[in-house]
Amino acid sequence: MDAVTITDEPARGALRDTFGRTASDLRISLTDLCSLRCTYCMPAAGLDWLTKAQRLTDDEFVRLAAVFVDLGVTSIRLTGGEPLVHPTLSDLVYRLAALEPRPELSLTTNGVALDRHARKLADAGLERVNVSLDTLDRERFAQLTRRDRFDDVLGGIAAAADAGLFPLKVNSVLMRGSNLHEAPQLLTWALRHGHRLRFIEHMPLDADHTWSREDMVTAEEILDLLRHAGFALTPAPTRGNAPAEEFAVTAGPRHDEWATPVGSLGVIASVTRPFCRDCDRLRLTADGQLRSCLFAQDETDLRAPLRAGASDDELAELIRAAVAGKQAGHGIGAVDFVQPRRTMSAIGG
């Protein structure tokens, strides 16, 4: 994990941890339900879903979001599961956009239903989307997701672009023995359509707990593959708090009928190149549990005190305490690392 320098205790009123990091980015998982069954995420039969009573209501999501915004959160990303299955998503986006000061609002989706919702979400105040797409092959898409929805995802991406949800980012997980060879094709496709592709290392958050470091495709492998295919990649000079390492694509392989456009590429190497030192993210699960790290073993229950009548100040103190206890790093690779009990679909991406 990254080395982090310990500083003084965080000041009251600021979401700072004991390592000097300030939390300003909140990921809210609206549901653990999903319309796909990706092989690297969940079993074919799905999981034991939360009940409606266990999930937060829209009023509860908005109230907690308001407390986080008062504490300095400036960016809110709606996730899942699949957030587009949330029945009142547009109304919720509208209410979150009305918070003061207004946070930046974005969404991570599998894109299956995006063509039906993109315009409404943009009108409600959503600013940008990240869409998951691991392959450009229809049959492989069906194999990876266990659903034949490839055309729906492409239609959703086009609808999001038409609705002005920019920059539109496409997230891809490359798997050995499956879609790894598609990396150059995915990058070319994204550049030609003006999208920002981000390759993400497969993380130990699968439901079957079969992840292994040896089988995982690393960021270095991906970059080597792209350079071998003819792409010229130049690292960006700075990174800030962004999880992705950015690369300028200044040239690409030439073909008879077209030349690869220039653009950018992001690589999220959470395992091999962790960005814990600069992490500014918090996660609120659909059942109201606050997680200071994607790989945390502990959670802070906000739902129970919220429903028991806690004041905003009391909720804020719980949030501050959770942030203050954030660990230095995720610990993947350490001998005592234990995969979280929750899967990615239950935590929220």
Beta strands (DSSP E) in the chain are 25-29, 75-79, 104-109, 128-132, 169-172, 196-200, 232-235, 245-251, 263-268, 281-284, 289-291, 300-301
The answer as to CATH 3.20.20.70 being correct for domain 25-347 is yes
**Domain residue limits, the chain:** 25-347
- Binding residues, by number, are 27, 34, 38, 40-41, 77, 81, 108, 132, 169, 203, 276, 279, 281-283, 293
Q: How confident is the model at residue 13 (pLDDT cuts 50, 70, 90)?
A: low
With 50 as the cut, is the pLDDT of residue 206 above it? Answer: yes
Segment 301-323, tens digit of pLDDT: 999 999 999 999 999 999 999 99
Segment 75-129, tens digit of pLDDT: 999 999 999 999 999 999 999 999 999 999 999 999 999 999 999 999 999 999 9
Q: How confident is the model at residue 255 (pLDDT cuts 50, 70, 90)?
A: low
pLDDT of res. 326? 92
Give me the phi and psi of 147, to 5 degrees please: -145, 145
Segment 168-199, tens digit of pLDDT: 999 999 999 999 999 999 999 999 999 999 99
Q: How confident is the model at residue 337 (pLDDT cuts 50, 70, 90)?
A: low
Q: Which residues pair with 132 in a beta bridge?
A: 171
Higher pLDDT, 81 or 334: 81
Residue 79 to residue 61: CA distance in whole angstroms: 13
Q: What is the mean pLDDT of residues 277-292?
A: 95
pTM over 0.95: no
pLDDT of res. 10? 39
Residues contacting 59, CB < 8 A, separation 6+? none
Higher pLDDT, 102 or 341: 102
- Binding residues for [4Fe-4S] cluster, by number, are 34, 38, 41, 276, 279, 293
Residue 140 to residue 47: CA distance in whole angstroms: 23
pLDDT of res. 8? 43
Q: How confident is the model at residue 331 (pLDDT cuts 50, 70, 90)?
A: low
Q: How confident is the model at residue 56 (pLDDT cuts 50, 70, 90)?
A: very high
pLDDT of res. 273? 87
With 50 as the cut, is the pLDDT of residue 24 above it? Answer: yes
- Binding residues for S-adenosyl-L-methionine, by number, are 40, 81, 132, 203
Q: What is the mean pLDDT of residues 210-221?
A: 84
- Binding residues for GTP, by number, are 27, 77, 108, 169, 281-283
